[in-house]
Structures are given as structure tokens and as C-alpha cells.
Amino acid sequence: MNPLEARLDYPHGDTLPPVGTTLELAPGVRWLRMALPFALDHINLWLLRDRDDDGREGWAIVDCGITNDATRAAWEQVFENELQGLPVLRVIVTHMHPDHIGLAHWLTERWGVRLWISATDWNAARMASTSTTGFGGASAAAFMVSHGLTDPAAVEKIKARSNYYASMVPQVPLRFRRLMHGDVLRIGAHDWHCHAGYGHAPEHISLHCPALGTLISGDMVLPRISTNVSVIDIEPEANPLPLYLDSIARLRPLPEDTLVLPSHGRPFRGLHERIAQLEAHHDERFADVLAACSREPQTAASLLPVLFRRPLDLHQTTFAMGESIAHLHALWLRGQLKREAGADGVFRFRAA
Ligand SMILES: [Zn+2]
């Protein structure tokens, strides 16, 4: 465990629920994990004991896993063994990324229930599942080239990945119920408050239950890795890092002993400590980027070894490029860097 992570408290230690089973974390709050075919090899999902308007008892699902046979099979095991014979009453999705919304269409159809999600993420998911966005395709490849990615093999691979999102999210439910910041959802015996977060996804919704002292943080606060905050091709001048940092700062009023349920890693206590660590992490990265750009003009690609001191596979390189651009844009748009497009069409950033 790294020294920063050691400052967080993991009340369940190293215990993980095996795929297809659940672990109770608080009354009516259950943790399950699904496998992912990436370097980040799992996602946490949640079951909340629920009751519908007609008084019918059942469960709310929070987040879904990607669409593949293994995830569907794991869900069938959960339905068989973990629901105490009760139905699923609704499917809540924190945001539009494939590991979160992938199976929403199958889950909502299988149980005849509604998807609850922010309108922005529902629209973005609908669009991404029928077209190509920052996850791959010619436009994403051209964007990476304009930020200095030159390896022809990597560029070809990004170009070829044109239905990357749709392969994990082939369908998005045609109807949804809108979640907004400040909404209070009655889920079973407890109220859960919606907290919108920006910078990672278009409009990510975290859920906080004051009575249970529990925050479903989604991808906004993770214990071990920093949340991906990327600029992608469809919004080329985006400035997502200040949005992200403002969003996590808005979680500070929640109590320090809040049990945080993240989408990746293990449930932990130490929300304020983790927010401070993430802020310090990005401050260090900003300083590194400024120092590099003061020595000589930099592209997002030339900064990769400065920002990521480890080898990256293609999946990680596309995320890393997006993050490198996000750090450059935050400094550019606050006036600390100047951006210049070279004769080669590549953006370079130098100290202002
Ligand atoms: Zn995400």
C-alpha cells in the first residue's frame, strides 16, 4: 500500500465480494464487483434495499457493468442468490461511461423498470452508442495527432477503434428518469441526496445518505487512483480539471467519517483526506507541466513521461493524452501558458 493510501481507513480490510455474490456494508446496502477487460480490472456496483410507490419491496441497482456474457452471467447469479427473492425496482446509473451504463438496457428490460440518470449523461450515452466520440475513430485520432501523438501504430489503432463505446454499450434505454443536483431520492427506508460532479463525465451523480453516513462516490472520488479527467475530440477546448476540482471540493461539507463507496478500489473512510490528496496531486502535476513548458515548448504527447512515470498500453495512452491536455488547458485558460499551433498543425504550449 502506498503511504497516501495508508492514511485511509478500509473498514473491510482486504475482503472483496467474489463475482456473483454481495457483501453487506450497511443495513440494506450491498457491494458487488464485476470484472472489466482493462488494466483497471473491476468495477464496484451497489444494491440498495428499495420499496416502490405501491409499497412493493425490492432492490435498486446502482451501476451496471459493461455488456458481455460474463457480466450478464454474474448478474444472473446475483439475482438467483442475493435478492432474497425480491425484484429489482429501478436501475440508477452514476454516469455514461461503459462500465457504469453498459448493461442498463438489459437490466431495465429484464425487470421492466426505469433507468435513473442525469439528462446530460443519458443524452451523451445515446449519442456515443450510435456514433464515435473521444473513445476512438478518425476524429479522436486526428485530435491526438494535433496534440503531438506521432507513433503511427498507435494512431492507426485509435482510428480503427471506431465502435469502441458501442461494443460495450450497444444500446441505451429509450426512456429515463432524470436525476439532478439536490434531488432527494427515497430509496427504501432512507433518503439519498444527489450531488452532481463535473470534469470526469458530462454530469456525474453521486449519492449521499446522511442517515447511513454513506456516499456512493462513483468515479468522482477513488481511493487509490486519481479520477480520469480528460479533454476529448468533441469538445477540443474543454477545461475539465477546474470543474473536477470544484466538484470534489463541494463534497467537503459531508462528515469526515462518511463511508465512501467508490466505483473502483475498496470502500473507505477518509473523504476529507482523500480530497486533499487529490488536490495536492493535481497541484504537483500543474507545477511539473509549468516547469517543463518553461524549459521548452511542450505538446501533450511530449509531457506523457513527465506526467506518467510508467509504461502505458494503448488504452492507457488515450486516457493519458486526454489528461495531459486537461492539465495544459487548465494552465492555458488561466493565462499561465500560451498555446501555439505549429506549421505541422500540432499544438505546443509555452510559459506565458
Ligand atoms: Zn467513469
| CA atoms of 161 and 141, how far apart (whole Å) | 9
**Distance of CA 204 from the midpoint of ligand 1 (Å):** 8
All cell numbers assigned to 50: 428499495
| CA atoms of 349 and 301, how far apart (whole Å) | 11
Strands of the 42-51 sheet, one edge to the other: 23-26, 29-35, 42-51, 57-62, 88-92, 114-117, 177-178
**Distance of CA 229 from the midpoint of ligand 1 (Å):** 9
**Distance of CA 344 from the midpoint of ligand 1 (Å):** 33
| CA atoms of 91 and 108, how far apart (whole Å) | 7
Q: Are 261 and 217 in contact (CB under 8 A)?
A: yes
Q: In which element (H, E) is residue 9 found?
A: none
Model pTM score? 0.96
Closest CA to 29 of 274, 270, 272, 258: 258
Q: Is 261 exposed, middle or buried (0-12, 13-18, 19+ CB in 10 A)?
A: buried
**Distance of CA 95 from the midpoint of ligand 1 (Å):** 7
| CA atoms of 259 and 266, how far apart (whole Å) | 11
Per the DSSP assignment, residues forming a β-bridge with 197 are: 204
**Distance of CA 23 from the midpoint of ligand 1 (Å):** 23
Q: DSSP labels for 180-217?
A: -TT-EEEETTEEEEEEEE-SSSSSEEEEEETTTTEEEE
Closest CA to 232 of 101, 124, 343: 124
Tens-binned pLDDT, residue by residue, of the chain (352 aa): 688 888 999 999 999 999 999 999 999 999 999 999 887 899 999 999 999 999 999 999 999 999 999 999 999 999 999 999 999 999 999 999 999 999 999 999 999 999 999 999 999 999 999 876 656 789 999 999 999 999 898 899 888 888 888 889 999 999 999 999 999 999 999 999 999 999 999 999 999 999 999 999 999 999 999 999 999 998 999 999 999 999 999 999 999 999 999 999 999 999 999 999 999 999 999 999 999 999 999 999 999 999 998 888 888 888 899 999 999 999 999 999 999 999 999 999 999 9
User: b/e string for 121-141 if b means 16 or more Cβ within 10 A?
Assistant: bbbbbbebbeebbbbbbebbb
| CA atoms of 164 and 135, how far apart (whole Å) | 6
**Distance of CA 99 from the midpoint of ligand 1 (Å):** 7
